[in-house]
Structure 1
Amino acid sequence: MFFQHVYDQSLAQGSYVIGCQATGEAIVIDARRDIDIYLEIAEQNNLGITHITETHIHADFLCGSRELAAVTGAPMYLSDEGGEDWQYQFPHKGIKDGDVIKVGNLTLEVIHTPGHTPESISFLLTDHPASDKPVMLLTGDFVFVGDIGRPDLLEKAAGMMGTKEAGAKQMFQSLKKFEALPDYVQLWPAHGAGSSCGKALGAVHSSTTGYEKIRNWAFRYGEDEQGFMDYLLTDQPEPPKYFAMMKYLNRVDRPLLIEIPKHPELSKSQFLSAYQKGIKVIDTRNKTDFAKGFIPGSISIQDNDSFSTWCGWLLNYQEQFILVADGSQMEDLTRKLMRIGMDNIYGYIPDVNGLGIELQTADVISIDEFKMYLLKDDIQIVDVRGATEYEAGHIEGADSVFAGTITGNLDKINKDKQVIIYCQAGDRSAIAYSVLAKHGFRNVKNFSGGIKEWLAADGKTIACKETSCINV
């Protein structure tokens, strides 16, 4: 048996190439949209991609199954579970609980595991030349290392109200199927630490069913369904705004993108023309360089593992945008963006200087300066971390305005006061600062050290649960 885990660090997303070397057949599970990696793996290992499948209709990335099918001609085997409202709306081979996909001498038994979504399935893999006992379980967003898939995404991200409680109940029942599996079966999920598809995903990529039964919180509730549901639905992180679009595009027919697009470096005149027309500028330089001088109105989103997620928070799918990036970065940035369907790159510029535009600078303050401002009355402290982080511990007196939704909450920030923003360690506050600057806020300072530096300097925080706050 051939097995390769393909992991996208930028979205904490795992896909799989599994093949039978005796027959040269291979299946790809949960492919990302830039599919060349699967073609290369298959070619290097003398395999042909003959089967393509997904564990569910994904919300966090644009699945590349259809691109891969268009290039290879392999059929797509997709879930027909979950009822009429949860069906893929393009041609495919439907599969249900108990069905078996045969890939050479390998079999993948379909197990319907609803909870995260109603149509979710897992695959129990058996390598028959080695044994008639199953060797691994490909769980998608059902069971992760240390966590399980959240059932509230459909409601929070896609606006499908009233689905989270039903999903939590389904998850409770699905876990009983997991518990019935032998302890030696390997676990390979679709996500790892950093994904918004759960709240406590482990950093290790794989586990075993037996280990998860012992250590995963989800198996500690026995028959206490309500206790399980309460914990599962509490303190889940904010799902990025783009999730709703992914849920839609992964379900319906859509244009395919089978090659990595190349985008032009814009001349000074081309850039100025687009800039004056209001095309958005995304500055991918590190936050320190951005603070030293940035194009007015540009948004700071650093080129790191969170780049595509933050673009998904702050861009929409109808607008074009320009990147400030070196040419050597463009292929990687394009890949990151196409994985969430952000295809409207107008072009890029490698430098913000020499454009005839007076650059702005960010007002970044130290912890000592921050402490001095705390002694004043006419200020507003704004914590731009997520709500769960804020409730776990924030600087006393700080208001909570999450960086990802700050554009829609500008009314919560006082233009007449001195505003000081902070996050955990400066990345999100740099984003928030740029958004506020774009919208005309001038009395803003960025305490870039954030909670991390505050606590290191023995600063105190306030934790909130429901309506009460306590010192921590």
Structure 2
Amino acid sequence: MFFQHIYDKSLAQASYLIGCQAKGEAIVIDAKRDIDTYLQMAKENHLTITHITETHIHADFLSGSRELAEVTGAELYLSDEGGKDWQYQFPHIGLTNGNVIEVGNLTLKVLHTPGHTPESISFLLTDHPATDLPVMIFTGDFVFVGDVGRPDLLEKAAGITGTQEKGAQEMFRSVQDFSKLPEFIQVWPGHGAGSACGKSLGAVPGSTVGYEKIRNWAFHYEEDEEGFIKYLLDGQPEPPKYFAMMKKLNKMQRPLLTQVPKHQKLSKEAFLKAHRTGVKVIDTRNKADFAGGFIPNSINIQGNNSFSTWMGWIIDYSEPFILAAQDEQMEDLTRKLMRIGMDQMMGYVDSIDSLGMELQTADIIDIEEFKSYLNRNDAQIVDVRNKTEYEAGRIENAENVFVGTLEDNLDEISHDKQIVIHCQSGDRATIAYSLLKKNGFVNVKNFSAGMKEWMEKGNPVKN
């Protein structure tokens, strides 16, 4: 058996290529949208991708299953569980509990594992030349290392009211069924640490049923369904705005993108024309370079592993945008944008200094200056971390306005007072600073060192 775990650090998302080397057949589970990874891997290992499947209708990334099917001609095997409201709306071979997919000498048995979503399924793999016992389970967003999938996304991100309590009840029952599996079975989930699909995902890529029964909180409630549901729903992070769009696009017919696009480098004239008409400019440089000089009205979203998540929070799918990025960054950034279906880029510029524009600088302050604004009536301290972080420990009198929803809550920010923003260590505060400046706020200062330095120097924290 051939097995490959493919991991996208930018979204903490895992997909899998599993093959029968004797028959030369392979299946891909939960494909990302830049499918060349799977095509190259299959070619190098003398495999043909004959089957493609998913564990559920994803909310956190745009699945590449249809792109992969378009290129390879492989069949799509997708869940038909969960009722009529949870069906994929394009041609596929439907899967229900107990169905078996045969890939050469391998079989994948379908288990309906609702909770995260009603249609969620897992795949129990048996490598028949080695044993007739199952050896792996691919759980998607059902069981993670150290956690289980959150059932509140349909309500919080997709606006489907009344689903989180029912989902939590279903998750409790699914966990009880999972605990009956042999403890030696390897567990391969759909996400790792950093994903917004849970609140305490482990950093190791895989696990076993036995290990999860020992270390995963979800297996310690036994008959206490009420306690399980309370813990599961409490303290979940805020889901990014783009999740609702992913749910829609992953369920319905949509245009396919079977190759990684190459975006044009804009001339000075083309850029200035677009900028004058209000096209958003996303500056992907690091926060220190941005602070030293930035294009007026540009938004700083650094081109690191969090790039696609913050793009999904800040940029609407109907808006064109331009990137400020180096040539050598563009393929990586383009892939990250592809993976959340953000295809409306007009192009990019690789040097902001060559545009003939007067650049602005950010007002970054140190901890001593920050302290001078505390408890002043003419200053507003704004903590742009998420609610869970804020409630776990904050600076007294700091108000919480999460950066991801900042532009929806600008009425909470004073135009008359000195605004001083901070986050944990500066990345989110820089996004917030650029958004406030873009929206006409003049008196803004950024305590970029944030809670990290505040706590390291022993300053008081309110819980």
Same fold per superposition (TM over 0.5): yes
Q: Provide the rounded CA distance (Å) in 2 between the counterparts of 1:413 and 1:106.
A: 58
Aligned pairs for 1:18-37 (under 5 A) are 18-37=18-37
Q: Is the 8 A contact 2:115 2:170 kept in 1?
A: yes
The list of structure 1 runs, each at least 4 consecutive aligned residues, that deviate by more than 4 angstroms after superposition, is: none
Q: Could you give the per-residue CA deviations for residues 336-356 of structure 1, whole angstroms, max 9, x where no partner exists? A: 001000001100001111322
Shift of 1:377: 3.0
Distance 1:95 1:27 in 2: 15
The alpha-carbon deviation at position 374 of structure 1 amounts to 1.7
Offset from partner CA, 1:35-55 (integer Å, 9 cap, x none): 000000100000000000000
Secondary structure at the aligned position of 1:250 is classed as: helix
State the match for 2:367 in structure 1: 367
Q: Equivalent residue of 1:296, what SS? A: coil
Instruction: Give 1:258's aligned residue.
Output: 258
CA offsets per residue over residues 199-220 of structure 1, 9 Å max, x none?
0000000000000001100011
2:289 aligned partner: 289
SS at match of 2:353: coil
Matching residue of 2:408: 408
Moved more, 346-355 or 17-26: 346-355
Alpha-carbon deviations, 1:427-463, whole Å to 9, x = none?
0000000000000111110000110100001011111
Q: Which amino acid aligns with 1:103?
A: V
- Residue in 2 aligned with 1:206? 206
Q: Return the letter of the residue paired with 2:59.
A: A
How many angstroms apart in 2 are the aligned matches of 1:417 and 1:27?
Answer: 59
Provide, for residues 103-127 of structure 1, a one-character-per-residue CA deviation record: whole Å limited to 9, x for no partner. 0000000000000000000000000
Q: Which residue of 2 aligns with 1:426?
A: 426
Structure 2: which amino acid aligns with 1:185?
I
Shift of 1:375: 5.3
Matched, 1:92 2:73: no
Q: Secondary structure at the match of 1:353?
A: helix
Match of 1:176 in 2: 176
Report the Cα offset of residue 376 of structure 1. 3.1
Distance 2:54 2:222 in 1: 30
Structure 2 residue 432 is the aligned partner of structure 1 residue 440? no
Aligned AA for 1:353?
D
Which residue of structure 1 lines up, in the alignment, with residue 331 of structure 2? 331
Cα distance in structure 2, aligned partners of 1:376 and 1:114? 51
Letter in 2 for 1:159: G
Matches within 5 A, 1:93-242: 93-242=93-242
Question: Which amino acid in structure 2 is aligned with residue 119 of structure 1?
Answer: E
CA shift, 1:371, in A, is 1.3
Within 2, Cα distance between the matches of 1:23 and 1:461? 61
Provide, for residues 172-196 of structure 1, a one-character-per-residue CA deviation record: whole Å limited to 9, x for no partner: 0001111010000000000000000
Cross-structure match for 1:39: 39
Q: Secondary structure at the match of 1:188?
A: strand
Q: How does 1:340-351 map to 2 (within 5 A)?
A: 340-351=340-351
**Aligned equivalents of 1:290 and 1:192: distance in 2?**
30
Counterpart Cα distance in 1 of 2:57 and 2:240? 16
Match of residue 470 from structure 1: none
Task: Answer yes or no: is 1:310 the counterpart of 2:310.
Answer: yes
Compute the RMSD of aligned alpha carbons.
Answer: 0.6
Whether contact under 8 Å (2:95, 2:110) holds in the other structure is: yes
Aligned residue-pair number: 463
Residues in 2 aligned to 1:41 and 1:271: alpha-carbon distance in whole angstroms: 38
Contact 2:58 2:246 in 1 (8 A): yes
Cα deviation, 1:380-402, whole Å, max 9, x if unaligned, reads 10000000000001100000000
Q: What TM-score comes out, normalization by structure 1 length?
A: 0.98
Partners of 1:440 and 1:128 in 2: CA distance:
65
Deviation sequence 1:317-367 (CA, Å, 0-9, x none): 111100000111111100000100000110000111132221111100011
